[in-house]
Amino acid sequence: MRGNTVRVYLFVLKNGPCELREVQRALKLSTPSLAFYHLSRLVHSGVVNRTADGRYIVVSDISADLLDGYVKFGRRIIPQLFFLTLIFTVILGYYVYLVWRLPLDTDDIVTIVYSLSIIVLWYETLKVWRRLSG
C-alpha cells in the first residue's frame, strides 16, 4: 500500500466513519471515482469496511506498519530521516561559517564531500516523505 491509498487510509483512520465525497474533498482527489478506487482497495485488503449507510470505517489498524520510519510531530507525519538530515545540515552550515573565515586550503575538499553527502541525505529524506504523501 502506498501513495493515495495510504493517504485515504490515514484520513479514514483519523476522522472515523467517512463518506466517499468527504474523502475526495478532504484529500483533493480529482474525482469521486478515484476516491472510490482507493477505498475499494482498502475494503478488499480488509482494513476498511463499508457500513450499510455508505460510510467507510477502519476495522484493522495497520498504521504502525505503514508508519515505520516516520514520527508524528504535532499533526504532521515526518520521516525520521528528516531530523538526522536537519542536524547534519546545521553542522555543515556551522562548519562552512568557521572555514570560510580562514584562507582557502584542503578543508575545502572536506566541505565539498560533506556537502554532497548532505545533498544525498536530503534527496533520500524527500523520497521517503513523498512515499507517504503520494
Q: Give the model's pLDDT for residue 109.
A: 75
Grid cell listed for 94: 556551522
What's the first-to-final CA gap in the chain, in angstroms?
11
Q: In this structure, what C-alpha cell is assigned to residue 126?
A: 524527500
Quick check: 35 pLDDT over 80?
yes
Longest dimension (CA), the chain: 74
Would the pLDDT of 3 be above 90? Answer: no
Q: What is the pLDDT of residue 36?
A: 92
Q: Where are the domains of the chain?
A: 4-64, 70-133
Lowest mean pLDDT among 34-43, 59-68, 103-112, 124-133: 103-112
Give the model's pLDDT for residue 73.
72
Residue type present at position 44: H
pLDDT at 103 (0 to 100) = 67
Question: Which residue is listed with cell 584562507?
Answer: 103
Handedness of CA 15, 23, 130, 59 (dihedral sign): positive
Give me the pLDDT at residue 61, please. 77
Inter-residue contact 126 to 79 (CB < 8 Å): no
Distance CA 16, CA 58 (A): 7
Higher pLDDT, 132 or 10: 10
pLDDT in tens, 91-126: 888 887 877 766 666 667 777 888 899 999 999 988
CATH topology of domain 4-64: Arc Repressor Mutant, subunit A (1.10.10)
- Kind plus residue range of the DSSP H or E element containing 78: strand 76-79
